[in-house]
Amino acid sequence: MRLVGVPDMFTEKVAVIDVDNYRAALPEDFYQINQVRTTDGYYFRYAGDTFHTHKCFDNTVNADLTYKIQGGVIITSIEKGCIEVSY
């Protein structure tokens, strides 16, 4: 679309969403994720494996915070809390 001079089709947004049972629904206008962090500023990284929510590590703020996207849901390595999603 940039080749024909169409202005940016997507707008960057930030949403604060509640995580419950390691999952949270993504906003309806979600297309692509930029970054994820806790509301107190700790950043998540994309999960490289399917076991990122298992209790094989200390699940504290210093733990490895991970996420993955499945359908319209974000699955995190934290069980409960609020996260900020830049998309």
Instruction: List the pLDDT tens digit at each of the 87 positions of the chain.
Output: 556 666 667 789 999 999 999 999 999 999 999 999 999 999 999 987 666 556 555 555 546 899 999 999 999 989 999 999 999
69-84 pLDDT, tens per residue?
A: 999 999 998 999 999 9
pLDDT at 11: 86
Alpha-carbon torsion angle 81, 56, 51, 65, nearest 10: 40
pTM of the predicted model, to two decimals? 0.76
pLDDT at 1: 55
- C-alpha Rg value of the chain to the nearest Å: 15
Burial of 30: CB neighbours in 10 Å, binned 0-12, 13-18, 19+: middle
Q: Give the whole-angstrom CA distance, residue 2 versus residue 12.
A: 17
